[in-house]
Structure 1
């Protein structure tokens, strides 16, 4: 199952409108009361998150017939809605401001992520950059494309396989503070380069554009990953749990690896698979 062109266009335009109305006017204009903590000082929500999610949630109701909507901020209030993804005929998963910490601190590395699932399987993914008003989009079975206003969509090329020593990687900084941090740091030295952007939207965009090769993730929030994993898979990549199971947007326990090239996955599992016994 995939979306027709009119549905894809409607979702892209909805996200663009939400960003223009609710996100960009607040960027670098937030005051103290506009930023609130959720689980801790690094996990925050702003009025932009809440406003954009409300606009997108209302908009998708006119695009789909009776969809389940799973937004990050709604799930913060009612985590049980995440379990609806697996059983819903249509579900729309929204991260209204991905990279909220960056956004709240005036860094332009943030985005909007939207995924559509059909009977638990992701069929559409959108990675939108509100700052530059461009996007990467994937419709299952049709490849992935870069889009911007006034230009024809540009098909993104399939990923190229690289040796481990040349791979660029995205690794969560929190892992280096764990007792096994030294071993992870030693393994990371075998990579070409590694870093972290605190924004899944732009991390997946980097991978889709051939500028990142592997991501190790410990957080399984579907709004962070469902769209990006589909984009990577459409470009020849793969996403697997460290215990070998295939990634699913209804999965809620990590960690997992995203590889830009599917053939690199066995080597990456050999390299990082030992973390599974510590993190599951």
Structure 2
């Protein structure tokens, strides 16, 4: 399991238990986090050659599991280069550049058919097995680094996208706050206008036509009459009846007065006529 890989790693150019060799002039590249990546691993070579294995593309969900398969060993050992390496000097000076230079040839070389350069005897099978185990371990660690680097790049891309979305949301929030301030100012101005109008209309309303059946007041009798018809139909009918009765009584009084006036006029006209007889 990948979670247990960190316990297998020795001290050296590591970051949180993951091996990140230092870059050389001709090999390796930098990851998106600025950490030098390993020499061409199997997955890196497939990606560079345009033949990415399925499941290696970033996803928006959980970490993607990269496919893994041990590479066949076909490269022959370059004993001249191996003999040129001073192991004690590498250890004393922490010469990781030398390790980086030889990591690919050591990891993927084949010892099949190799013989001792002095006695030409076959290589001890136990020693071959030990080297094969070391090669497979290194190859697995290469894969683990590729896996972690891949997920690191995916996380960074998601972080950048989240940052852009955050900036957009902040911009939208700022616009909404400015709009809210503008609306609040407009609301205050309208409230002020309404208070001014109310202060101007209040004296007129107080001295205007007031409904006798509720607390409402109206500017003229027409509004009051409409209000009575809608809200107080029974009282309005009684009021109309009383108004008609008062008008009839007034007309009767006028008729009586006219009759008296007519009788008086008639009497005045008849008096001179009797006097001539």
**TM-score (normalizing by structure 2):** 0.21
Higher-strand-fraction structure: 1
More helix by share: 2
TM-score by length of 1: 0.21
Higher RCO, Cα 8 Å, sep 6+: 1
